[in-house]
């Protein structure tokens, strides 16, 4: 199995990224975290130091700034597991959203991921330890199915899938494994902020999948990285969603490949059932709002 010895996590100062850095550090990895705010980074560093005794390296940079990111990669040293986890989410109907908000999500979530991977890839290919390497991307269940209020967010996360599928073919010869992680709603500072402005329909639809804690998600993510899985679902609905949307994604497990082949037809029925429910909620919501 793939062992995170030198791991770098973007967005590692909060929520899921912090939980991942914390867990990797407690398992003995050398950990670096990258985010914009140096205050949040220092706080995260102290938190991990207090509970594990391990010192993590912190780097303040914006993933949208390629030069800043490549400087961090240079300073951070060898990486065998890169976790591209930074992400922003501003929910809202496209009609009410400014294009600046749309661009913000695409820039941070998608272009920022390109910057990070492009900067880290040469060093990862030349890594001196002989074990396999990993590039893990934090997508979302909203990166497997479009959700009301998430036009830009879902687009940025669907984009990560195309990136990941193509990249896997490019890096396999260097024994680097790409993982796409698909969490449901996860209890993080980011979600608390999001919920202040989230449309009611977004919440209704997102509730189709149970909510998780950040350390539950980080545990699933780390297990997925270690087993070099391409798709990493995090809960039961996520497992169904991953089988139902397997499409042309790579699959290393014969057991899972078999399950996908057998279950695809009946999962399409379940998917249509979910869609029917969601569209019913949408129509009801509009009917109620008109009558007011
Ligand atoms: N919470 C949820 O419900 C779900 C989250 N996800 C995904 O998981 C990932 C983490 O989410 P979550 O833990 O909730 O997020 P948080 O908002 O709690 O944390 C986000 C992290 O990303 C960093 N970050 C944000 N923008 C940038 C940037 N431009 N450059 C560098 N770092 C940046 C933040 O630090 P700083 O602001 O200082 O830069 C922070 O460390 C995201 O990709 C998100 O889309 C997926 C499914 C569900
Ligand atoms: C084939 C049958 C499948 C059935 C399961 C369908 C369930 C889909 C629910 C989607 C929930 C999306 C949550 C996004 C969370 C997120 O990313 C935001 N909180 C922003 O961070």
**140-189 pLDDT, tens digit each:** 999 999 999 999 999 999 999 999 999 999 999 999 999 999 999 999 99
Alpha carbon distance 222, 98 (integer Å): 36
The residues pairing with 186 across neighbouring beta strands, listed in sequence order, are 212
Q: Are 109 and 156 in contact (CB under 8 A)?
A: yes
The residues near 100 (Cβ < 8 Å, ≥ 6 apart) are none
Residues within 6 Å of ligand 1 by CB: 10-11, 13-17, 35-37, 40, 62-64, 85-89, 108, 112, 138, 140, 183, 185-186, 188-191
Choose which residue among 105, 274, 279 to substitute to test ligand 2 binding: the one with the highest number of ligand atoms within 8 A of its C-beta. Answer: 274
Element (H, E) at 217: helix 214-226
Positive or negative CA dihedral for 156, 161, 167, 173? positive
109 CA distance to ligand 1 middle (Å): 9
- Compute how many other C-beta atoms are within 10 angstroms of the C-beta atom of residue 287: 9
pLDDT tens for the 292 residues of the chain, in order: 899 999 999 999 999 999 999 999 999 999 999 999 999 999 999 999 999 999 999 999 999 999 999 999 999 999 999 999 999 999 999 999 999 999 999 999 999 999 999 999 999 999 988 899 999 999 999 999 999 999 999 999 999 999 999 999 999 999 999 999 999 999 999 999 999 999 999 999 999 999 999 999 999 999 999 999 999 999 999 999 999 999 999 999 999 999 999 999 999 999 999 999 999 999 999 999 887 7
pTM: 0.98
Which pair of structure tokens corresponds to residue 35? 């985010």
Return d(Cα 57, Cα 274) in angstroms, integer. 44
Token pair belonging to 221: 């993510």
How many angstroms separate the alpha carbon of residue 281 from the centre of ligand 2? 16
ipTM associated with this complex = 0.99
Per residue in 211-222, pLDDT tens?
999 999 999 999
> From the CA of 47, how far away is ligand 1's center (Å)?
18
């Amino acid at each position: 199995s793939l062992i995170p010895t030198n791991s770098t996590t973007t967005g590692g100062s909060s929520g899921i990224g912090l939980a991942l850095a914390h867990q990797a550090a407690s398992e003995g990895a050398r950990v670096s975290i990258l985010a914009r705010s140096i205050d949040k980074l220092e706080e995260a560093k102290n938190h991990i130091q207090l509970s594990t005794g391990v010192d993590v390296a912190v780097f303040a940079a914006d993933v949208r700034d390629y030069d800043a990111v490549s400087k961090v990669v240079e300073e951070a040293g060898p990486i065998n597991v890169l976790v591209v986890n930074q992400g922003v989410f501003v929910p809202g109907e496209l009609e009410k959203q400014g294009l600046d908000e749309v661009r913000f999500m695409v820039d941070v979530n998608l272009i920022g991921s390109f910057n990070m991977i492009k900067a880290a890839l040469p060093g990862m290919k030349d890594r001196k330890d002989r074990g396999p390497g990993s590039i893990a991307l934090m997508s979302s269940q909203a990166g497997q199915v479009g959700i009301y209020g998430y036009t830009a967010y879902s687009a940025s996360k669907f984009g990560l899938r195309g990136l990941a599928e193509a990249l896997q073919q490019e890096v396999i010869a260097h024994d680097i494994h790409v993982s796409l992680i698909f969490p449901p709603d996860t209890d993080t500072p980011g979600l608390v902020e999001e919920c202040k402005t989230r449309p009611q329909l977004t919440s209704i639809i997102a509730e189709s999948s149970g909510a998780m804690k950040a350390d539950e998600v980080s545990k699933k993510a780390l297990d997925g990285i270690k087993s070099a899985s391409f798709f990493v679902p995090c809960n039961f609905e996520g497992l169904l969603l991953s089988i139902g949307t397997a499409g042309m994604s790579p699959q290393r497990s014969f057991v899972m490949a078999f399950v996908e082949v057998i279950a695809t037809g009946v999962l399409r029925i379940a998917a249509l059932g979910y869609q029917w429910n969601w569209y019913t909620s949408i129509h009801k919501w509009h009917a109620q709002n008109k009558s007011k």
